[in-house]
Amino acid sequence: MDKQKLIKKFVKGNKRAFDKIYADYCDGMYSICLRYTNNSDEAADILQDAFIRIYEKRELFDVESQLGPWIKRIVINTAINHYRVNKKFELVEDESYFEEEDEQTVSVQENNNLKSVLSECIEELPPGYKAVFNMYVLDNLTHKEIAEFLNVSINTSKTQLSKARKMLKLKLEEKNITSSKVEL
Query: Is the same domain home to 76 and 96?
Result: no
User: Cα 179–183–184 angle (5° rounding)?
Assistant: 100
Asked if 149 and 135 count as a contact pair (C-beta separation under 8 A), the reply is yes
pLDDT score, position 84: 76
Identify the CATH number of the domain in which residue 18 sits: 1.10.1740.10
CA dihedral sign, ordered 4, 9, 13, 17 = negative
Q: Which amino acid is at 181?
A: K
| Residue numbers of the domain that contains 117 | 91-184
Query: Which residues have C-beta within 8 Å of that of residue 59, sequence separation ≥ 6?
Result: 11
pLDDT the model gives residue 9: 94
pLDDT at 93: 52
- Residue 117 to residues 30, 123, 149, 164, 166: CA-CA distances in angstroms? 21, 10, 29, 15, 16
User: What was the pLDDT predicted at 159?
Assistant: 92
pLDDT at 103: 41
Nearest to 51 by CA among 19, 80, 90, 87: 19
What pLDDT was estimated at residue 178? 65
User: What predicted TM-score, i.e. pTM, was given to this entire model?
Assistant: 0.66
- What averages of pLDDT result for each successive group of 10 residues across the chain (184 residues)? 88 95 95 86 94 95 91 92 68 50 41 72 86 88 87 90 91 76 46
Last residue in a domain, options 36, 67, 86: 86
